[in-house]
Structure 1
C-alpha cells in the first residue's frame, strides 16, 4: 500500500495508508479537506502557469464540485475534440493494420480449408475426420459424381445427335451419287440404240442409192431426127 506523509499540527508528521476509510465521519472529513486542497491546487496551477483547467468531483452522495479557469463546457468540448482527433488518427492506422491482418488470416484459413478439402476428396488425411464429416464427404462426392454423369450423358446425346446428322448427310450424298450413277448408266445405254438406228438408216439410204445407180438409162431422142408427120 502507498503511504502518504501528513502533518497534524503539534503532533508532527505522520503516515496515512492510502486505502478506503471505513469510518463514514472520517471519510467525509477527509473528502472535504482534500477536495478543497485539490480545488486550490487547480486554481494555483491555472494562475501560475496560465493553464486551462477544468476539474469535476463527485462525492459518494452524488454531489458535484467543479472548478474551471474558463467556461467548463468549452474546456470539456475542447478536450473531446482533442482526444477525438488523436483517437481518429491513431484509429485509422490501427484499423488499416487490423483490416489487413484479418483479411490475411481469412485468406490463409480459406487456403487451408481448400487444401484439406482437396486432400479429403483424393482420399488423403481422412484419419482426422469423424463419422459425421465422413458422411458429409461421401454425400458431397455422390453429388459430384451425379453431376458429372449428367454432364457426360448430355455430351453423349449431343455427340449422338451430331453423328446422326452427319450420317443422314452422308446417306443423302450416297443416294444422290447412286441416282447420278443410274442416270449415267441409262444415258450410256441410250446412245448405243441410237447408233444402231442411225446405222440402219444409213444402210437403207445406201441400198436405195445403189439401186438407183444400177437402173438402165433411157436414150434421149435427137432433135435432129425428129420428124413431124
Structure 2
C-alpha cells in the first residue's frame, strides 16, 4: 500500500517552542524513537506545508502530511498513530505534549496510489507538477537546485524502483532528454542549511517524442508517483513535497 495521509495534532502542554520549519524534523525524531529505523525514513515524506503559523500555538490543530512508498513502513506508521488516536494516548514531540485529534486518508492531500485506475486513462504528452515546498537534488556530495527535467525524472525513477511496486515493471533504459519544460512558474528559495537555492512553484513537462511508448507510460507514471515519493533530497524533513495536477 502506497499512500499519503494527513494527521491532525493538537498541542496540550508546551515544552520547547516549536517553529513551523522544524516541526517535520521533530516528528522524524519521534518516529525514530518509536520503532521506525533510518532506512525506513528514506521511504517516507513528512511535511507541514498545511501549517500556516510560524510557531506552534495553543488551542489549535496542526495538520501534517505523511506519505510512504513502502507498504510495510506505511502500516507501521499508521499503527503508531492509530493506536494513539484510539486510546487518546498523548505523544511527546520536542518536549511538547500532543494529542492525535484526527487521521485523514481520503481528501485532497490524503489518497492511495492506484496505478491500475490511473492507467485506464489516456496517457498524456504533458504533465504539470506543483512543488509545494522547496525542492533540490543531491548528486554525490553536491546539492543542486534546478528545473532540469532530467533531474526530476531520474530522481523519481530511482525512488520508484525502490518502492513496493517497482519490481512489477520492466522499465529498461529511458531517455529523459526527450522531455522538455513547456511552462514554468517558479521562484527560488534559499535554504541556509544546505547553502542552496531550491525551486518552488509549478512546472509543465512536455514529452517531445510520443512514439516511445515505454517512455510515455513511465513519463505519466512517474509524474503521478512523485506525489507520494516526494522529489529530490530531504523529503523526510519537509522538502520536495509535490502534487500531480490533473
Relative CO higher for 1 or 2, CA cutoff 8 Å, sep ≥ 6? 2
- The structure that is helix-richer by fraction is 1
TM-score scaled by structure 2?
Answer: 0.14
Larger radius of gyration: 1
TM-score scaled by structure 1?
Answer: 0.15
- The structure that is strand-richer by fraction is 2
